[in-house]
Chains A and B, each alone.
Chain A
């Protein structure tokens, strides 16, 4: 199975700061990575597909980059509604796997 390692586990920031969340794959997966946001008591919401492709309805402050084994989700000027948990997920090979998540919290 492909293991996805997300870092940091928790990121404490002040609203208005820009942040980068990391996802590292245990082997090369091209750009087969997708990012989700999950707020408390809600289901996950797709933010980015295939590493950098935007999703309709998602604010433009969210962007993704990377290929191979290293991927980044960037949030430009974090807003209060962005404080939640973020997951990466790979679709390069079955079984589909998820990272352990990064919790973005208010400093």
Chain B
């Protein structure tokens, strides 16, 4: 069964970069589908941030386009999120997910990232 697991620092200082890893087991990320990052802000708003496809192409939410990068390490079956120049408004729970068709069938458990000095 496919499983996704986020990892990374839970606290990031303003103006620094946020870096998260999604480790995937039970499926090879180069075999198919798109691999997304989604975040949920305090108060329940959810935002799709972007994805990296099985072929390595990327697509980002225009609201983040200048700050976001999604990359992968196929040897480790992992993909990564980097968000630059964070502010307190980037405080959220970050999820990685597999996009099946155009919906998200598999999610990680989520990791809370707080932006604070």
A residues sitting closer than 8 Å to B (CB atoms) are: 32, 34, 36, 42-46, 49, 85, 87, 89, 91, 94-98, 100-101, 103
Contacts and interface: CB of A to CB of B under 8 A. Distances in A.
B61 A95 contact: yes
A89 B48 CA distance: 10
Interface of B: 44-48, 59, 61-63, 95, 101-105, 107-110
Contacts of B45: 98, 100
Nearest to B93: A43
Given A43-B110, A94-B59, A95-B62, A87 B104 contact: no
Which 4 interchain pairs have the tightest Cβ spacing? A91-B102, A43-B107, A34-B103, A98-B46
Contacts of B46: 87, 89, 98, 101
B105 A46 contact: yes
A73 to B, nearest CB: 14
Given A95-B61, A95-B62, A34 B102 contact: yes
Contacts of A91: 101-103
Contacts of B102: 32, 34, 91, 96
A57 to B, nearest CB: 11
B45 to A, nearest CB: 6
Contacts of A96: 48, 102
Contacts of B48: 95-98
B28 to A, nearest CB: 21
Contacts of B61: 95
B103 A100 contact: no
10 contacts: A36-B104, A43-B107, A43-B109, A44-B104, A44-B107, A46-B105, A85-B44, A95-B62, A96-B102, A98-B46
Nearest to A33: B103
Contacts of B105: 46
